[in-house]
C-alpha cells in the first residue's frame, strides 16, 4: 500500500494556537475590516487607476496593487490563524491556585522588584500592557507554578530565579 505524498498529517494539539476571547475578537474584527472595508476600497482605486492608461508608470495603480497583495496576505494569515485557534477563557479556568493560560501573575525578581504579567496568546502579547506570550521563557517557567514557588527563567544573562507572589484570574 503506497502513501499519498500530498496527504497532510492530521492536525495535532501542538499546532493549536491558544488565545483569549478578547484576542480572538480583535483578530476577527481586523479580518472583517480588511475584507469588508479596506479591500473593496483598494479594489475600486485599482480599477480606476487601471482605466487611466499605461499601468507601467501609473503610481496609483502600482502602489494600490501592492497594497491589495498585502491585504490578501494578511487576510490569509488571519483566516488560517483563526481556523487553528483554541479560545481559552481564563474566567473558566479550574484549579485557580496554579498558573495556567490567562492567569495574571505577580512575581518577584532576584533584585526584589515585582512584575505583573498576564499569560496570553502569541498574537496578543504586548509587554507594555503586561501581556506576555505564554510560550515565552517567563511564561513557560511560570506555567503550573503556585504562589510561593520559585521558578527558574532562562534569560540572555543566564538563569534567573523568580518567586510567584500572587496568581489571579479575571472574575467576569
Query: What are the chain's domains?
Result: 17-87 (1.10.287.180), 90-168 (3.10.50.30)
pLDDT tens digits along 61-93 = 999 999 999 999 999 999 999 998 899 888 887
Grid coordinates standing for 159?
538563569
CA distance 130 to 66: 35
Predicted TM-score of the model (pTM): 0.74
**Residue 148 region, left (φ>0) first, then alpha (ψ -120 to 50), else beta?**
left
pLDDT band at 12 (very low <50, low <70, confident <90, very high): very low
pLDDT tens digits along 135-171 = 999 999 999 999 999 999 988 888 999 999 999 998 7
Contact by Cβ (8 Å): 108, 162? yes
CA distance 111 to 115: 11
Nearest C-alpha neighbor of 16 from the set 140, 172, 134, 168: 134
Amino acid at each position: 500500500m503506497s502513501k499519498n505524498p500530498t496527504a497532510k498529517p492530521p492536525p495535532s494539539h501542538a499546532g493549536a494556537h491558544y488565545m483569549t476571547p478578547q484576542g480572538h475578537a480583535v483578530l476577527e474584527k481586523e479580518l472583517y475590516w480588511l475584507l469588508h472595508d479596506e479591500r473593496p476600497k483598494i479594489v475600486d482605486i485599482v480599477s480606476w487607476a487601471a482605466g487611466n492608461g499605461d499601468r507601467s508608470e501609473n503610481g496609483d495603480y502600482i502602489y494600490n496593487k501592492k497594497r491589495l497583495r498585502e491585504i490578501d496576505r494578511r487576510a490569509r494569515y488571519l483566516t488560517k490563524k483563526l481556523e487553528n485557534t483554541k479560545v481559552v477563557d481564563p474566567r473558566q479556568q479550574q484549579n485557580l491556585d496554579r498558573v495556567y493560560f490567562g492567569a495574571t501573575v505577580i512575581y518577584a525578581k532576584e533584585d526584589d522588584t515585582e512584575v505583573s504579567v498576564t499569560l496570553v496568546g502569541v498574537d496578543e502579547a504586548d509587554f507594555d500592557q503586561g501581556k506576555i506570550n505564554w510560550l515565552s521563557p517567563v511564561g513557560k517557567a511560570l506555567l503550573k507554578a503556585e504562589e510561593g514557588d520559585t521558578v527558574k527563567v532562562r534569560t540572555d544573562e543566564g538563569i534567573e530565579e523568580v518567586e510567584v507572589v500572587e496568581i489571579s484570574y479575571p472574575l467576569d
